[in-house]
Amino acid sequence: MRVIITATPHLDIRGDPYGFLAAHPLTPLVSLHHLVYLNPMFPNKTPIESLQALMRPYTLDPHRILQQIHCYDRKRQWSISISWGYSIQIYTYFLTAKELDTPLQTFKTWRSSSDGPFTFNTRPLKPDPCERPVTYFMDGAEDVRGSGTKTWYSVGDKKYGHCGKSEYSRVTKVKRILVTSMKMDPEYWNKAPRRPCCEVMEGRGRRKEEEMSIRIRKCRSAEMI
């Protein structure tokens, strides 16, 4: 089965597409091909159900779908990578923007089903589960007054193994993440594109440890992404 979402150049890979989709390059969404050779994009869903889930945020803000945004929770020393409308990764340590931009190699080459080479850089999944991200997957999306969106992400098990460190446990206590943003300008890709910035909003109340809120916004002049 071949599924084409846009007319931009496509990428052929096998196996688990998560690493690439969670660190999509700064371009419109590539087409998704040969779905039968890819693992489902969402845990506990079939390939068709995964596409249906991805189409929910796509219909709300097609220009932003899968676009990657980075945040740093400096108080807790977390690195956060958002693939809008799809997934969020939280690392318990700081990573550079360049590292976050580089896809985790969860997939294989198309022709030989091997670990490379690819036409782009990848980074390996660390053997230590404590160095792997806690992953969240989109499970809700809604329009906000026609000009903005809310998307929700719940913790999802990528079977990355158990980490017993207390800092990792603090992350896994976060069960759901809300991301708010304005819709992307349709002319965005006709300009010199630049990744937006985001910030973690302080939570309140008893559910502070279980929920997180992140706001996507334009970068300030002094911010590096």
Q: Where are the domains of the chain?
A: 13-217
Q: How confident is the model at residue 225 (pLDDT cuts 50, 70, 90)?
A: low
> 18 pLDDT exceeds 60?
yes
Tell me the average pLDDT of the chain.
86
Helix (H, G, I), strand (E, B) or coil at 97: helix
Span 57-83, pLDDT tens digits: 999 999 999 999 999 999 999 999 999
> 3 pLDDT exceeds 50?
no
**pLDDT given for residue 2 in this prediction:** 40
Share of the chain above pLDDT 70, in %: 88
The DSSP bridge pattern shows strands 13-15 and 107-109 to be: antiparallel
Query: Residue 213, exposed/middle/buried by CB under 10 A (0-12, 13-18, 19+)?
Result: middle
Q: How confident is the model at residue 4 (pLDDT cuts 50, 70, 90)?
A: very low
